[in-house]
Amino acid sequence: MTLAVSATSAWQSERNRLLGIAYRMLGDFGHAEDVVSEVAIDAVQRERKPDAVGVDSWPAWLTTVCVRRSVDRVRQLAAVREEYTGPWLPEPVDASTLPEETVANRELLSLTLLHLAEQLAPEARAALVLHRAFAMSAPEIADILEKSPAAVRQMISRAERRLEIDPEAPAPRAKDRAALEKLVRAIEQGEIDTVVAMLDRDAVLWADGGGKVKSAMNPLFGAARIARFFAGILSKAVLFDPAEPVRAWVIEVNSEAALVLRHHGRSDVLVIDTAPDGSIRELRQVSNPDKLTRVSL
């Protein structure tokens, strides 16, 4: 067996799956592509070592390196994101343009879970991603993270509880789509009272403008404050373009329904999370134009 050929062909075969792992770890597709490219360099260097021994399984080797590099990158980005202007949200992508190996389990691709996963330690996030999205067993993950299988199972269990993930089945998203469609009508018609009625009393909005466009600099808590935020968008948009002040429509990002809000000559992408009673409890609005290059607007 020629190591150079097997390493290169294995990386090409595994690239899409590795992208799926790295993107879920990082919430940024550009950084994920960087990590996967670095994995390719590592593979070439590995095969060129004079004392290199054969690799039993290139897919397993590549996965291990990708996860460890992603864990390191998460730690590096933590300091950068602390300096980020306003709330940081993951970069949305049009999942329909991605290979199936990258999309994999669609639940862990949602912007909501990618954002919530930021509160997990890097290794716990890796364990959850590998188990939930790529169906890897605790012993397989333990080899990658250099932990015991019992420790990995505990990390996965705690991560699922913290992110409120049902270990048996992913939560249905039909309520979110229905709520978004109702929200579209309310925004386009300027019905702020309807917007307020749709919001949970303790709803929270994160708006990521990244310092590139005007946006809320801190999370907004409570239905009243969020409603005032949308009222401000609507009233200012009327002054900006009286002929077509606001447009809104539903699209798919990260394999879930999202709302595009067009106003002031710009576009925002908004995803929501509904409570069991159907009210909107969380809203995440990505406005930073640098993060909208992988979404069809």
Q: What is the pLDDT along the chain (297 residues), one digit of tens a residue?
A: 344 447 888 899 999 999 999 999 999 999 999 999 999 999 988 877 756 567 788 899 999 999 999 999 999 999 889 899 999 999 999 988 888 888 877 768 899 999 999 999 999 999 999 999 899 999 999 999 999 999 999 999 999 999 888 766 555 556 678 889 999 888 888 888 898 999 999 999 999 999 999 899 999 999 999 988 888 877 775 555 666 678 889 999 998 899 999 888 889 999 999 888 889 999 999 999 999 999 988
Cβ-contact 144, 130 below 8 angstroms? yes
Q: Report the alpha-carbon distance of residue 14 to residue 66 in Å, rounded.
A: 11
Q: Report the alpha-carbon distance of residue 146 to residue 29 in Å, rounded.
A: 26
Tell me, yes or no, whether 157 and 80 share the same domain: yes
Tell me, yes or no, whether 158 and 225 share the same domain: no
Question: What predicted TM-score, i.e. pTM, was given to this entire model?
Answer: 0.89
Among the candidates 138, 162, 186, a domain finishes at: 162
Tell me, yes or no, whether 190 and 132 share the same domain: no
Token couple for 155: 């990390």
Among the candidates 162, 188, 219, a domain finishes at: 162
Please tell me what DSSP assigns to residue 295. S
Total of domains in the chain: 2
Can you say whether residue 60 is alpha, beta or left, with left for phi > 0 and alpha for psi between -120 and 50 degrees? Answer: alpha
Tell me, yes or no, whether 158 and 260 share the same domain: no
Among the candidates 162, 185, 206, a domain finishes at: 162
Can you say whether residue 136 is alpha, beta or left, with left for phi > 0 and alpha for psi between -120 and 50 degrees? Answer: beta
Tell me, yes or no, whether 102 and 144 share the same domain: yes
Q: What is the DSSP string of 30-48?
A: HHHHHHHHHHHHHHHHHHH
Q: What is the DSSP string of 222-280?
A: SHHHHHHHHHHHHHHHHHH-TTS-EEEEEEEETTEEEEEEEETTEEEEEEEEE-TTS-E
The pLDDT assigned to 51 comes to 63
At 125-168, the pLDDT tens digits run: 999 999 998 999 999 999 999 999 999 999 999 999 998 887 66
Domain annotation covers residue 68: yes
Domain annotation covers residue 297: no
Q: What are phi and psi of 204, to 5 degrees?
A: -135, 140
Tell me, yes or no, whether 155 and 183 share the same domain: no
Tell me, yes or no, whether 150 and 182 share the same domain: no
Exposure b/e, 21-54, CB count within 10 A at least 16 = b: bbbbbbbbbebbbebbebbbebbeebbeeeeeee
Tell me, yes or no, whether 271 and 182 share the same domain: yes
The pLDDT assigned to 57 comes to 87
Tell me, yes or no, whether 145 and 201 share the same domain: no
Domain annotation covers residue 60: yes
Domain annotation covers residue 168: no
Domain annotation covers residue 223: yes
Q: Report the alpha-carbon distance of residue 226 to residue 68 in Å, rounded.
A: 39
Tell me, yes or no, whether 131 and 199 share the same domain: no
Tell me, yes or no, whether 15 and 154 share the same domain: yes
Tell me, yes or no, whether 99 and 189 share the same domain: no
Token couple for 132: 């939930």
Q: Report the alpha-carbon distance of residue 145 to residue 72 in Å, rounded.
A: 12
Domain annotation covers residue 108: yes
The pLDDT assigned to 1 comes to 36
The pLDDT assigned to 4 comes to 47
Q: Please state, in angstroms and as integers, the Cα–Cα distance from residue 151 to each residue in 85, 157, 167, following that order.
A: 36, 10, 17
Domain annotation covers residue 296: no
Domain annotation covers residue 169: no
Structural domain that includes position 101: 3-162
CATH number at residue 212: 3.10.450.50
Instruction: Tell me how many degrees the CA angle 129-130-133 measures, rounded to the nearest 5.
Output: 65
Contacts of 150 (CB under 8 A, 6+ apart): 138
Q: For the chain, give the longest Cα–Cα distance.
A: 71
